[in-house]
Structure 1
């Protein structure tokens, strides 16, 4: 009996040990899990704001286990950036069965493929949009080649489908469609995948099918006013944003800001701001307040939601063109704002988008509240994306053209 108990106990222990070994077995898709978690972390917190320990904690593994798969944070960042850019190249590769199909059919297939990949990688795609500047030069060029190849295919299909459109305009329309699709990585609007996919499809084709106004039809933006050197508070803000735009927030020191503003030492900066993060927060708060301040007067001075939203679009484009660097930095560096300030800024941004969405719902009652917010984000992204991709002073994406594309997204093809 004792021997039987011992055998039973031994059998139980063996089964327990086997069960423990199964639990601890490394998942077969561990590398894919790491890629997804790291892309989301880099997109949310920025490349410099994430450590290997942060990524490991998201996966509930040790950093030692993470290093078995990747030798460094940069190796992980690089692989995920190149993987995401390859998805664009993959999406525009037509299957053999469609290569002889009409141009419109092929264009629709490519747009659908781009949307499917954007939706599937929504949480991590912000890495590609805002953090890719931190890739090494050779890796950055490889990434850009993949993205450029994808845009070129879109332009070629558009040329077949709409041969009357000027070649330069096709570049703008393709960039606008890609911006609308990619904008979903910049917000967390909760919406069913099917509704989101349909909305992005309509928006992308809305801009691809639109006819742009002639370049130069908008008055040239007034040159930015020079800040007098005696206004140190304003000068610090202006010079800081310029540096953040050129180098990236983590690569700018307080000493750099002091030198650019003509201050004798970094200690002089602290007479105006407590830290570099406070400078960034102050610039962002000003930009957010500018958008907020325009909403009430626009509603009060116009005859309805369509007119009010049209006026807000024009004011937003005017303000963004006057501060192009700040518009880009706002999207790219908000993760570097101190947490408490970031919460305030996110709330202001959310309320601004909701006010725009209410006006859009008043114009297009067939949209749900979530759908209206998605379209507002897609329209807002046009300003920063077209300026960043095609050049801030490129006449092909002047104010009148950007406004036209925002209307095409917000109000639909007929509205533009």
Structure 2
């Protein structure tokens, strides 16, 4: 009996070793789609942490592989970044390519077909969207030109289809509506609101169609001249914030030094900056905290003064648009560079933003009780994204995209169409 038990134990140990060896071989086996896995992980990393905030080692650790294995597929971080950015651009371009079978469709149906294809592509690549949305400025010139051509094709096709479906629209109005539709789609990369694919598709489809069908307020052709706020030279704290944000917007956060900020603010040396802030990250955090607090602080008074949720939400929309027009650079930099804020302060900012979005969403559910809380949060994010994207495309002084038009489009997205 002892002999048999010993033999059994030995056989068991041998089997365990064989099993371990088999498992090891399985782990070491290179997946057929490894390159696609690397591209997806890198795109998500670039989108969440910024191009300059990610290393090849970071990407390798996300995939649980060595950096040497990563370099077997891609020679550099930039090669990864370039390939994924241009892949996303090509997917968008392919989505607006109508099949031959669409020749017999009505203009409205052709527009709907393209929007459905764009929605499907956006949802499939949701986790990668922030790369294209906020980090493409770091592409080299030739690659940026390729991506620019891809995105220009998408916009041109959408404008053309809008014109065919709605002949009354002039070219500037088609440009505004096309930008707004694409903004709604790309906004899902800015957040992680969990919604099942089918429900997300339905929600995006309704929002995009509401935008495409809306009637923009008339444009009187008069440019809105933003009022420049002169900051006294003695207010060094304010000058630092303002000049830093301008530089971050123009060059990108990683390409701006403390010395650059000091020079722009009229300070004699970079050491003068450190009397106010510990570094660039703290300057960024201070500007963002001020903007986040302003949005948050407006909610209580708006609700208290309103007759109901629709009026309160409309007031908040108007205040948000006014603030954005006054600080266009900050609105963009907030989304593009928040990953560069120190981690602890970034958590605080995210919490303020999340609570503000939740309050807006509660008001929206009060207006549209058929929406779930998640549906409402997603639409709030889409409406806020409109302000950023329209501002990037048209600026603050183009009459074709006036404050009233931006406010109207936000209401259309949130309320599901035009309301009296």
Q: TM-score range by the shorter chain?
A: over 0.9
Are the equivalent residues in 2 in contact too, given 1:217–1:400 (CA < 8 A)? Answer: no
Matches within 5 A, 1:80-91: 80-91=84-95
Aligned: 1:183 with 2:187: yes
Question: Taking structure 1 as the reference length, what is the TM-score of the superposition?
Answer: 0.95
CA distance in 1, matches of 2:60, 2:86: 21
Which residue number in structure 2 is paired with residue 29 of structure 1?
33
Q: 1:97 aligns with which of 74, 85, 101?
A: 101
- Count of matched residue positions in the alignment of Structure 1 and Structure 2: 413
Are the equivalent residues in 2 in contact too, given 1:218–1:399 (CA < 8 A)? Answer: no
Matches within 5 A, 1:16-415: 17=21, 19-216=23-220, 220=224, 222-415=226-419
Q: Secondary structure at the residue paired with 1:414?
A: coil
Q: Return the offset for 1:381.
A: 0.6
Q: Return the offset for 1:302.
A: 1.2
Question: Taking structure 2 as the reference length, what is the TM-score of the superposition?
Answer: 0.94
**Alpha-carbon distance change, 179 to 109 in structure 1, aligned in 2, over 3 angstroms:** same
CA distance in 1, matches of 2:75, 2:355: 42
CA distance in 2, matches of 1:66, 1:160: 47
CA displacement, residues 140-170 of structure 1 (integer Å, 9 cap, x when unaligned): 1110110110111111111111111112101
Q: Secondary structure at the residue paired with 1:99?
A: helix
Moved more, 304-313 or 218-227: 218-227
Q: Return the offset for 1:193.
A: 1.2
Are the equivalent residues in 1 in contact too, given 2:295–2:356 (CA < 8 A)? Answer: yes
**Structure 2 residues without counterparts, runs of 5 or longer:** 1-7
**Alpha-carbon distance change, 79 to 219 in structure 1, aligned in 2, over 3 angstroms:** closer
Aligned-pair RMSD on alpha carbons?
2.0
Are the equivalent residues in 2 in contact too, given 1:119–1:193 (CA < 8 A)? Answer: yes
**Alpha-carbon distance change, 218 to 380 in structure 1, aligned in 2, over 3 angstroms:** farther
CA distance in 2, matches of 1:303, 1:68: 63
Q: Secondary structure at the residue paired with 1:27?
A: coil
Are the equivalent residues in 2 in contact too, given 1:387–1:393 (CA < 8 A)? Answer: no
CA distance in 2, matches of 1:222, 1:168: 21
Moved more, 42-51 or 159-168: 159-168
Q: Secondary structure at the residue paired with 2:126?
A: coil
CA distance in 1, matches of 2:320, 2:22: 63
Q: Return the offset for 1:217.
A: 8.0
CA displacement, residues 111-149 of structure 1 (integer Å, 9 cap, x when unaligned): 011011111111111000000000001111110110110
CA distance in 1, matches of 2:300, 2:225: 25
**Alpha-carbon distance change, 183 to 218 in structure 1, aligned in 2, over 3 angstroms:** farther
Moved more, 381-390 or 228-237: 381-390
CA displacement, residues 164-183 of structure 1 (integer Å, 9 cap, x when unaligned): 11121011101100001110
Q: Secondary structure at the residue paired with 2:356?
A: helix
Are the equivalent residues in 1 in contact too, given 2:96–2:117 (CA < 8 A)? Answer: yes
Are the equivalent residues in 1 in contact too, given 2:262–2:272 (CA < 8 A)? Answer: yes
